[in-house]
Amino acid sequence: MKLERYDCYKDSNIELLGKVPNLWEITTIKNIFRYFGSGSTPQSNNIYYYENGVINWLNTSDLKNFLIDSTKFKITNLALREVGLKVYPINTIAVAMYGQGETRGTPALLKIPTTTNQASCMMYKSFIADERYILWWFISKKEALRAVNVGATQPNMNADFIKNLFISLPKKDTQIIISNYLDIKTQKIDKEISILEQKIEKYKELKQTLIAETILRGLNKNIELKDSEIEWIGNIPNHWEVKRLKDFIKFTIGGEVIDVSYWNDGNELTYTAGKNPVLSTFDNFPDRKRTKQNDILIARNGDGFIHVPKLNSIFTNVVQLVRLSKKVDVKFIFYSLENIKYQINKTSNGDFIASLNKDMWFNSFIITPTYEEQVEIANYLDEKTSKIDSIVEVIGKKIEVLKEFRKTLINDVVTGKVKVA
């Protein structure tokens, strides 16, 4: 459905707002709400403040879903009294003021009464605004507000900054129409995104299952099997062996990360904490450790990614390098490492041990087919997994398009660029 524009627009003379519908009022947040406030953090080492707590206490990590119907932490009546906290009512707007990550600038609407910490600006009680509309407005302006550096050393916000923000405000009945429209439309988009994300997870699981079955059983489905005597491995082809990973590899930790000033406009491929290398000027440091043919990189933090790097690249100390010490196919070892990580994820309920050290890798079990079978298995998995990766990539692009459409729709509707009936 194509949305129409309003009949007439005026220049707000405010960069954040631009042109707005002629009948919309230009005002500030402080003129919309009667009350503002924040909170505090009860001492975490005082068990009497938290144990058996029944009062909701809002942490900015609770804001990620925009509607607050529960809080991770609860405090006691003793904490409420002694710390001097206020319980904010339902339909209070909360905006996160601090944080280097995605939290800063995130708004939410309370669906439950709650106290809060000092990192949120709370605003409530308005006779001229629909709180849901204000929430949508803050959602639409989050990135713009985050771009403003209010603090002297950190890009934080403060209550005065939020109170003095200019906002374009239609009549309240129009606000309610806009809020209802966005509630319905975004729920529909979110459902589509959720379905696509579930598809991605299924394809990822299919990929991991395919790797596991192929690495552990091979390609010949009619071959005679034997018990590996390892529970998670099960039966394997009769002529295969089970060995420790340390029999085939050695580990090297990368060099120290050089100052970020060397990271721009360089000509050296450098692996830090992701699969894709960055360009750096590390050529000024000839002692940097470099990758060779048939090397593999494993991240020492994050999701523990495993990657076959580009030749002669630098790697820093946030990754560890696996170097083959015997004649084995590098891609077969790569898929074997992926399977080990997959098995760890399964046994730890998806909570991968990011700091898995080299001794734990060394002592992991690996199946050893003949070299020719290793190459055959690796080639087969390259072909099959690349098809799955392509499908996942296509679905991922659809998700990004939907997210961008959602973002644009919210902004256009809540700022009056388009009119909804």
How far, in Å, CA of 77 to CA of 387, rounded?
57
pLDDT in 10s for each residue of the chain, 421 residues: 567 999 999 999 999 999 999 999 999 999 999 999 999 999 989 999 999 999 999 998 888 779 999 999 999 999 999 999 999 999 999 999 987 678 889 999 999 999 999 999 999 999 999 999 999 999 999 999 988 755 545 567 899 999 999 999 999 999 999 999 999 999 999 999 999 999 999 999 999 999 999 999 999 988 999 999 888 889 999 999 998 888 887 777 665 555 444 444 555 556 565 556 555 555 555 556 777 788 887 776 656 678 777 666 777 667 777 888 778 898 998 899 888 888 877 766 555 554 456 667 778 888 889 999 999 999 999 999 999 999 999 999 999 999 999 999 999 999 999 999 7
- The yes or no reply on domain 200-385 and CATH 1.25.40.80 is no
* HEC profile of the chain: CCCECCCCEEECCCCCCCEEECCCEEEEHHHCCCEEECCCCCCCCCHHHHCCCCEEEECHHHHHHCEECCCCEEECHHHHHHHCCCCECCCCEEEECCCCCCCCCCEEEECCCEEECCCEEEEECCCCCCHHHHHHHHHHHHHHHHCCCCCCCCCCCCHHHHHCCEEEECCHHHHHHHHHHHHHHHHHHHHHHHHHHHHHHHHHHHHHHHHHHHHHHCCCCCCCEEECCCCCCCEEECCCEEEEHHHCEEEEECECCCCHHHCCCCCEEEECCCCCCEEECHHHCCCCCECCCCEEEEECCCCCCEECCCCCCEEECCEEEEEECCCCCHHHHHHHHHHHHHHHHHHCCCCCCCCCCHHHHHCCEEEECCHHHHHHHHHHHHHHHHHHHHHHHHHHHHHHHHHHHHHHHHHHHHCCCCECC
pTM score, two decimals?
A: 0.81
| 169 DSSP β-pair partners | 25
Residue 47: predicted pLDDT: 93
**Residues 6 or more apart from 314 whose CB is under 8 A from it?**
254, 255, 268, 269, 270, 271, 280, 282, 288, 289, 290, 291
Residue 254: predicted pLDDT: 61
> Fold identical between 25-169 and 200-385?
yes
β 268-271/314-315 pair status: parallel
**Residues 6 or more apart from 103 whose CB is under 8 A from it?**
60, 61, 63, 64, 96
Residue 260: predicted pLDDT: 46
Q: What are the structural domain ranges in the chain? A: 25-169, 200-385
Measured in residues, the chain has a length of 421
Q: Please provide the CATH number assigned to the domain covering 25-169.
A: 3.90.220.20
Residue 273: predicted pLDDT: 56
Residue 25: predicted pLDDT: 96
